[in-house]
Copies of this chain bind each other. A is one copy, B any other.
Amino acid sequence: MSGQDGGCDMEGGPDVSWTAEVTTSGVSAAAVPSGSSGSSSSLAGQAHEVLAVVLQIRAGRLSVLLWERARAPFAGFWALPGGRLGWQEDLDPSIRRQLAQKVDVRDLTHLEQLETRGEPERHPGGRVLATAYLGLVPADLDPVIPADTSWHPATQLPQMAFDHAGIVDSGRRRLRAKLSYTNVGFALAPPEFTMSELSGYYRAALGHDVAATNLRRVLLRRGQIEDTGRCVPSGRSGGRPAALFRFRQRELEVTDAFAVLRPPHRG
């Protein structure tokens, strides 16, 4: 979205007006949970889970971490890592805790909230709200993951449980948008990298070619990356040794509110 950015959850919406019926059930008390218990339905809360779309560039492809469900519903289908929100737990800590089961949390270089889904029918077993997060793992790591868990190319997902396919898509779009106007690249790349490596990560995440030459200049101009002064020895087939770069910041920054990185004209 963003640019970019961000998601685009537009809703056409019904034309019906509930104005008449609703005003009966205590207007001002609506936002007070422990106060007047006006409506009968608000006694019990709703089950709430947190999920994560964990993305990493693996072998030049944007990949998602999924686990295979052993039991019904959706036995044999693949699902996003996550689980129930604890009773007095905040959302961010919760998804970090849940992810600890699948991947070492220290491997996550970035984590941000994506969206919350509340369709009553999204979970066959009963009403469960889900807040989804986007998590990123740098390309040089290979986290230890459980046996029921594996990485899948984000562009060709296996049979997905619940509404998780749509959530993965939200994550991909969010990442793509933010690569254009923020420095999220730092979360995909290792601490140091050559420009051709970096352009590979961008290509995988954006889905189109990214010229290393221009990427270098764009990111340098924006102050996102800097030259370490060191080089990487050239390969067995020769070639000039590549300079090593690093991101200047390892936290999310908006570097170009009105952004760039458009697909090439020809090619």
Contacts and interface: CB of A to CB of B under 8 A. Distances in A.
Contacts of A119: 90
Interface stretch (A56-64, A126-134, A209-217): A126-134
Contacts of A97: 18, 22
B2 A259 contact: yes
A2 B46 contact: no
A69 interface: yes
A262 B3 CA distance: 13
A65 to B, nearest CB: 14
B258 A71 contact: no
A157 interface: no
A16 B105 CA distance: 8
A260 B2 CA distance: 9
A141 interface: no
Given A4-B259, A6-B4, A6-B5, A33 B123 contact: yes
A161 B4 CA distance: 31
Contact of A11 (B46, B111, B123): B111
Number of copies: 2
Interface stretch (A173-181, A196-204, A219-227, A238-246): A173-181
A154 to B, nearest CB: 19
A126 B33 contact: yes
Nearest to A72: B35
Contact of A86 (B41, B88, B126): B41
6 contacts: A2-B5, A10-B112, A31-B82, A42-B84, A48-B129, A91-B129
Given A11-B111, A33-B128, 16 more contacts: A2-B181, A6-B6, A6-B174, A6-B178, A7-B112, A13-B105, A18-B96, A18-B105, A22-B101, A31-B161, A42-B47, A44-B44, A45-B48, A85-B118, A113-B116, A177-B257
Interface of A: 1-19, 22-23, 27-35, 39, 41-42, 44-49, 51, 67, 69-73, 79-80, 82-94, 96-98, 100-101, 104-106, 108, 110-113, 115-120, 123, 125-129, 131, 146, 148, 161, 174, 177-178, 180-182, 251-252, 254, 257-262
Give the 7 A-B CB pairs with smallest separation, nearest first. A2-B3, A1-B2, A6-B6, A3-B3, A1-B3, A2-B4, A1-B4
